[in-house]
Structure 1
Amino acid sequence: MIDKKKITERFINYVTINTESDPNNPAFPSTENQWNLAKILEKELIEIGMQDVELDDNCYIMATLPSNLDYKVPTIGFVAHIDTSPDFSGANVKPKIVENYQGNDIVLNEEQQIILSPNDFDDLLLYKRQTLITTDGTTLLGADDKAGVTEIVSAMEYLIQHPEIKHGKIRICFTPDEEVGKGAHLFNVEKFDAEWAYTMDGSQIGELEYENFNAASAKITINGKIVHPGYAKGKMINSMLIANEYISAVPSDEVPEKTEGYEGFFHLHDLKGDVEQTVLEYIIRDHDFDVFEKRKYLMQKIAFDMNKQLGKELIHVEIKNQYFNMKEKVLPVKHIVDIAEEVMKDLDIKPLIKPIRGGTDGSQLSFKGLPCPNIFAGGHNFHGRFEYVPVESMIKATEVIIGISEKVAEKYS
């Protein structure tokens, strides 16, 4: 159905373009290099026959596949992001193709002895006898989310080339800066004009998600006082030691490396300090909104209690909400999840319906009025050197897009 060689070449073409985003740049998009892929996609969408192709001033690409029906059905959409994570280098990506994988160790980089092994990543064993695309061990791959981009473009091209497949109006959008939390910030939901959409931004084949974390950031600034250590008694205040006490007061079992499923966490991801000042940066996550609020309150209470004990207000906590659980917005239109699940079963894909331990553009879009569950794109081990994607998973994801488009036409006939 889907040309394996073509989808592989398309994906490799996309991932070799550096589109790493920058969390420290307030500009939109946060890096100029995202325009390079955006312009290629704009040209490619026009070439395959999409209509209303538009690359706007903020690096969002939208396009339309017109309906080929003689009756009206809901307009649906598909969304993916073009940027890659700043957690690991996205420059000079050199993908490696592993044909007919047999469950063995994969040497990504012989010189540096970097090995992708099922002993460390047992999900590799799900893909025996398939074709894997991996990194060379020195960069991430970019399947998050260039696999999703590849699948959407490939599905639209297939539908255009096969007009016998009936579908309603389909809108697509590729967003910048999703990896730095801004992917949906300037998304024009009104212009997109779809009743619902799907982000193609999940991982393992079969994933179908409509729940995600409620998310906040917490910045804890601790002020100290530096004096000569030889004369410091009763005068010096070491902010780093106070920071250590604060960290110890946060529940040590409620961290990412000790939680799973619906369990939330506190994650200390950055620490900078000296005697005079220490800054701790946390992210706070929970699926349950009430528990999420309690987590934020705890961060404030620890500071309040410590300041009281110190007799001075040395600890300041700044908490900012980032996104919320899209379940609240998707459940009232749960049929959009049911359609995707039904299509997966039709394609002999076992649906893996589970909560996202993170967020997607879909969470913010759902709260902006565009209900938007998340579907697998096929990649594994995102944001690092061990990232890989099975080509067969990308093909299946492409077939899911086509199947959803066809299923909506059938259901509303």
Structure 2
Amino acid sequence: MVSPALTVMIGADTYPPDVNGAAQFGHRLALAMRDRGHEVHVVAANPENGSSVRRVIEDGITEHRLRSHKVPTHEYLRICSPWEIWREVGRILDEVKPDVVHLQCHLVVGRVLAAQAVRRGIRVVATNHMMPENLAPFLPVPHAAQGAIAKGLWWDMGRVLRKVQVVTTPTPIAVQAMHDSGVFKRDAIAVSNGIEIGDYELQDHESIEKNPDQLSIYFVGRLAVEKNIDVLLRAFALLPAELSHAVLEIAGDGEQRDKLAALADELGISDRVRFLGYVSDEELRAGYLRADVFCQPGTAELQSLVTLEALSASLPVVLADALALPHLVREGENGYLFEPGNARDLAEKLASILLLDDEGRQQMGKASKALVAPHRAENTWQIFESLYVSNLHYNKALAEVHDRRKAHG
């Protein structure tokens, strides 16, 4: 921990009880900074109707929940109106006087918090968890216009974040995607979301109940369009006859659940597909530990925390060859990449792992565990602490980014 302890304010457009990667990371960050001795405040949308509220929860974390409105195209997301929260955010900053503001998104809460903090000379660190593809399904625009919308979103992000001191994103590939947008002009560095690796290890005294006559494919995430779970269902239906004892477990819920359940029925696999819905942390962990392979078919992943969890649980993985997922696979060692959207290719890659004997899958699982080691959460928290007080780490990391670009022309 840096000394002395800091007052850290985390700004989030999505935060628990929302269930998504950005919300969960913001929550983990708040808990970690609290546990490292810092005073932590969270500014986020009120998950309920009504005025802005302040409450102290989880042994000292103070939440400032801002007046918000339900997003009509999403089951749980809520959005704040900038003109409704502008003065309230200023009041919160004046009252708390944070040493640093750490934004988790630039859309509304992040936008207002950044502007108000910069006005007051408060240091601002911003982490981008968003890709335009994450928003596209919820925007009332025709498909043909989404390319222009994506470009506009990148430009807007750059406009909001140009005055902050530090911009990070979870992976080098995400850094490159921001650069390649052509309109996001601000330099960013990669800081992993981090993972508590030991949380997903089978303990010596522990056993997981598992059907010895059954093989399990595991998916974890929101049941949303960009996760491409329909491709996974079609691939599962294409598995060879000798894998008829395999099951597909899908942990998570979302707006696509009914459509996916109908597709499973149409494909004749509904008796072997288990929609688990939202699961507790304990149930989530048990799912990893009883699975034989993990699959992530999503194509808009800036890092994929659930894939890091699967690697930590020593699982072979099959991931879409898209955005940040390829850096989590060493082809043939801990798993495989498949062509995004290609159900037949995915089926072949899943079968190649499921048809291995137990020892073969365990060897791939060991390779997964070795690959996840650099993503230890302790490293992430230390880096962010250093960024809260100084640009030294940021400048060094930027120099490395620029050197890599020069080396690749």
Shorter-chain-normalised TM-score: which range? under 0.3
- Greater RCO, CA 8 A, separation 6+: 1
More helix by share: 2
* TM-score normalized by the length of structure 1: 0.27
